[in-house]
Chain A
Amino acid sequence: MRFYFQLQYQLFNRHLKEFGIPFFIGYPLILFAFGLISYLLCTKLDLGPYLYLIVGLWPLIKAGEKERNTFLKIQFVKGFYRKIRLLENLFLVSPFVIVLSLFGHYELALIQLISAPILALSNLHIKSLKSLPTPFYHHPFEFAVGFRKTFLLIFLIYGLAVVGIITPNFNLGIAALVLLFLLCLFFYNEPEEVYFQWIFSKTPQQFLMYKIRIALFYALCLSLPISLGLIVYFPDKWMIVAAVEILGLLCMVLIIVSKYSAYPNPISVAQGTIIALGFWFPPLLLLIIPHFYVKATKRLNSLYHDSH
């Protein structure tokens, strides 16, 4: 068992290394980001602790993925497998339980704590031969895959937006809109197999525009119901909603051009830093997007055409 957890530790370190972050920076950075997000969610948002509870459940759901658990079941005898999963889940959930307790949300901390053994010892894999219907089937794959992976979160975000409108709490509504765009950005976080770029009979410029068009259209489809709802119920704040909507769409463009500027490799730390700068000071997006667009066209050009 000790070896298993050592291996997990090594795997995590390798991920950090591949991402180009040295250990001495990576761990403090993760701690700082966790602390900051925890503080913001537990103190600045009315329903933040509930959102925090859901965020805390996410690693448990990831650790319970079917393929991973099938592999573990094959490798370890039943009792050993359960012990590993139990310890793993308790380890994953403990930071969230501590934070919730520190901020006085004892009931939520208890729910979080109980969910760890329940999710470790139960098999909640949905077995189905049929696929989950998606409104994004016409242009696979990012939004179709992303929707199927995160549909529960999407419904939850819509729920938050509805609560924001009913209560009425504009900040909660706008937070839901921001969360939705963050989720859409997450659909583009991993570079696909080269084959799926290779199949396109388009120039790099045409390819990028095609990807951007689809991303903008689908992101609009997902976000407009929330935006329109907020504008109808908080008409005096329509400019804030419009600004968030436009910024969200610009970020969609940014994530696509930055992804293909590094393709087929993942986005590097240097590129990540530039993207973060864009998020921090949005007017910079007007410079960053063209910069990444030019880099992406060069990158895509070099992938195939230079080889002949």
Chain B
Amino acid sequence: MIRIDNLKKSYNKKDILKGITVQFETGKVYGIVGENGAGKTTLFKCIASLEKFEGSISSQPSPLKDHLGYLPTEPYFFPRITGKEYIQLLLNARGISHKNLKQKNLFDLPLNQYALEYSTGMKKKLALQAILLQKNNLFILDEPYNGVDIQSNIIISEIIQKLKEAGKTILISSHIFSTLKESCDEIYLLQDGQLKNRTKKADFDTFEKELHDSIISIKVDDFIS
């Protein structure tokens, strides 16, 4: 469980998050949608305490940082570190042993190759694999489907389901609504610094249509005309 109270964040006097209050329950999958620059990544970074903020965030188990698997939009890799060593680094950080990494190579990645030479999708899969092996209770997946092939998309959706069944709390952001529809229990729209339109699974189709009509159609029509 993650509880957020009156979370505010601004950059250079520009308010990005304007007093968000929300509770993410254990064993549920939450989707966050919003335009580019709406503040999804900022929200995730605040939850992970990678950014300073006003307000409070509490979690069960606590401290959140020690139980959180955070997949950034663009995972960072050191030059001249192999995929295997990257995983080892993340496991060492949590004091988890790293035996039989070859057998746990979920996405068949070339683990002896330098991670920086991986493609965008492979980098994402490596970072995801590493945080999965960390055995976290809470997960933040920032655009997990970006740049990843169709087969891996299916695997990621399956992983999210399994994590949910195992009682993990998962927050996902994605621009691909269909993938969120499959995986999430609830979806929020992040707009104007607030989490709006809390939508439950039964209403996802209506929400998608509303989003399509209000955001995409009007803008495209205006642009073309």
What is the interface of chain A, defined by CB distance below 8 A to chain B?
129-132, 137-141, 144-145, 148-149, 192-196, 198-202, 304-308
> Which stretch, B90-98, B143-151, B160-168, B177-185, touches the partner chain A?
B90-98
User: What residues of B have a CB within 8 angstroms of the CB of A192 in the complex?
Assistant: 78
Q: Distance in Å from the Cβ of A127 to the closest Cβ of chain B? A: 10
| Distance A68 CA – B56 CA, assembled complex (angstroms) | 44
Q: Is B169 an interface residue (CB 8 A)?
A: no
In the complex with contacts A130-B113, A148-B80, A196-B95 CB distance below 8 A: no
User: What residues of B have a CB within 8 angstroms of the CB of A138 in the complex?
Assistant: 88
| Distance A200 CA – B96 CA, assembled complex (angstroms) | 11
Asked if residues B90 and A199 are in contact (CB atoms below 8 Å), the reply is yes
User: What residues of B have a CB within 8 angstroms of the CB of A145 in the complex?
Assistant: 78-81
| Distance A29 CA – B80 CA, assembled complex (angstroms) | 33
> Which stretch, B19-27, B47-55, B200-208, touches the partner chain A?
B47-55
User: What residues of B have a CB within 8 angstroms of the CB of A305 in the complex?
Assistant: 49, 63
User: What residues of B have a CB within 8 angstroms of the CB of A202 in the complex?
Assistant: 93
Residue among A131, A144, A149 having the largest count of chain B Cβ atoms under 10 Å? A131
In the complex with contacts A130-B112, A137-B88, A201-B95, A307-B52 CB distance below 8 A: yes
| Distance A144 CA – B82 CA, assembled complex (angstroms) | 10
Q: Distance in Å from the Cβ of A69 to the closest Cβ of chain B? A: 15
Q: Distance in Å from the Cβ of B187 to the closest Cβ of chain A? A: 26
Asked if residues A308 and B49 are in contact (CB atoms below 8 Å), the reply is yes
Asked if residues A137 and B80 are in contact (CB atoms below 8 Å), the reply is no
A137's partner among B58, B78, B85 (CB-CB below 8 A) is B85
Q: Distance in Å from the Cβ of A212 to the closest Cβ of chain B? A: 15
User: What residues of B have a CB within 8 angstroms of the CB of A137 in the complex?
Assistant: 82, 84-85, 88
Q: Is B128 an interface residue (CB 8 A)?
A: no
| Smallest Cβ-Cβ distance to A193: which chain B residue | B76
Q: Distance in Å from the Cβ of B53 to the closest Cβ of chain A? A: 6
User: What residues of A have a CB within 8 angstroms of the CB of B18 in the complex?
Assistant: none
| Distance A241 CA – B81 CA, assembled complex (angstroms) | 33
Q: Is B121 an interface residue (CB 8 A)?
A: no
Selected A-B contacts with CB under 8 Å, 19 pairs: A131-B80, A132-B80, A137-B82, A139-B92, A140-B81, A140-B92, A141-B78, A141-B85, A145-B80, A196-B78, A198-B70, A199-B89, A199-B94, A306-B52, A307-B46, A307-B52, A307-B53, A308-B56, A308-B57
| Distance A113 CA – B46 CA, assembled complex (angstroms) | 53
Interface residues of B, CB < 8 Å — how many? 36
| Distance A129 CA – B65 CA, assembled complex (angstroms) | 35
Interface residues of B in 5-58 (CB under 8 A from A): 46, 48-53, 56-58
In the complex with contacts A195-B76, A201-B94, A131-B113 CB distance below 8 A: yes
B65's partner among A131, A148, A198 (CB-CB below 8 A) is A198
Asked if residues A201 and B76 are in contact (CB atoms below 8 Å), the reply is no
Interface residues of B in 88-111 (CB under 8 A from A): 88-90, 92-95, 110
| Distance A141 CA – B89 CA, assembled complex (angstroms) | 7
In the complex with contacts A138-B88, A198-B65, A199-B94, A149-B80 CB distance below 8 A: yes
Asked if residues A199 and B88 are in contact (CB atoms below 8 Å), the reply is no
| Smallest Cβ-Cβ distance to B52: which chain A residue | A307
In the complex with contacts A129-B113, A201-B94, A304-B80 CB distance below 8 A: no
Q: Distance in Å from the Cβ of B121 to the closest Cβ of chain A? A: 17
Residue among A144, A201, A304 having the largest count of chain B Cβ atoms under 10 Å? A201
| Distance A130 CA – B114 CA, assembled complex (angstroms) | 7
Asked if residues B93 and A199 are in contact (CB atoms below 8 Å), the reply is yes
Q: Distance in Å from the Cβ of A171 to the closest Cβ of chain B? A: 33
Residue among A137, A192, A196, A199 having the largest count of chain B Cβ atoms under 10 Å? A199
User: What residues of B have a CB within 8 angstroms of the CB of A201 in the complex?
Assistant: 65-66, 93-95
| Smallest Cβ-Cβ distance to A302: which chain B residue | B52
Asked if residues A195 and B50 are in contact (CB atoms below 8 Å), the reply is yes
Asked if residues B114 and A131 are in contact (CB atoms below 8 Å), the reply is yes
| Distance A137 CA – B49 CA, assembled complex (angstroms) | 29
| Smallest Cβ-Cβ distance to B48: which chain A residue | A198
A140's partner among B52, B57, B89, B110 (CB-CB below 8 A) is B89
Q: Distance in Å from the Cβ of A296 to the closest Cβ of chain B? A: 17
